[in-house]
Amino acid sequence: MISPDADCRLCGLCAGRTNLVLPSGDRDSPVVLVGEAPGENEDLQGRPFVGRAGDILNKVMEEAGLGRDRVMITNTVKCRPPMNRAPSSEEMEACRPFLVSELRGRKVIVGLGKSAVRDLMGYDGPMADVVNTRRYIDVGGEKVLFIPTYHPMACVYRKTAREELKATMAAVREEFFP
């Protein structure tokens, strides 16, 4: 895996970051969860999904019998966008080489939320239409299984989002960690 330099300046997100937020979990896992972008807590700690969204993700994974330490978790971009806005296409493109290096050789990629799904699958419609469908996406010339699902923060507002996210995690556990 390649990582950005500690003083990375490939896009404007560098101006407001405290830390680069690099992948966590099992870097050799066949499964990688990809979120949108770091939030405030992630920026402060330098780890993905450690704030409120991380708490929700951990609980849903636990309920599905899947330990966080068994998967790798990353984001489409490595720096926090201002005001927690969605990363722009240009910002995602700047981080693309790092993301591709993290995703190569995996058996399945789970896209957590609309931005990750748009960036990785090229889909910009309603999440409800694609959640828990299986597609193959191109990752550096390889075809890799991709499962789009809701971002953990969607679970705060919609009970069905939590049920779908839990179903995603249970399917991943059953299929890739029997």
pTM: 0.96
Cα torsion at 140, 91, 11, 9 (round to 10°)?
-50
Confidence label for 95 from pLDDT (cuts 50, 70 and 90): very high
Asked whether the beta carbons of 1 and 24 are under 8 A apart, the reply is no
Residue 46's pLDDT is what? 96
For residue 96, pLDDT beyond 90: yes
Percent above pLDDT 90 for the chain: 98
**How far, CA to CA in Å, does 52 sit from each of 10, 68, 112?**
28, 15, 14
Cα–Cα distance for residue pair 150/36, rounded to 1 Å: 11
For residue 178, pLDDT beyond 90: no
- Domain spans of the chain, in order of start: 12-176
What would the pLDDT profile of 3-31 be if each residue is shown by its tens digit?
999 999 999 999 999 999 999 999 999 99
- Rg value, the chain, Cα: 15
Arithmetic mean of pLDDT over the chain: 96
**How far, CA to CA in Å, does 79 sit from each of 1, 50, 62, 82, 105?**
17, 14, 27, 9, 24
For residue 53, pLDDT beyond 90: yes
CATH topology of domain 12-176: Uracil-DNA Glycosylase, subunit E (3.40.470)
**How far, CA to CA in Å, does 64 sit from each of 59, 70, 162?**
9, 13, 11
> β-strand 108-112 against 135-139: which pairing, if any?
unpaired
For residue 54, pLDDT beyond 90: yes
Instruction: Scan for tokens 């489409």, then name that residue.
Output: 76
Residue 57's pLDDT is what? 98
Quickly count: other Cβ atoms within 10 Å of residue 150's Cβ. Answer: 26
Q: Which of 68, 46, 94 lies closest to 173, judged by CA?
A: 68
For residue 79, pLDDT beyond 90: yes
Residue 84's pLDDT is what? 87
As given in the structure block, the two tokens for residue 48 are 């993905």
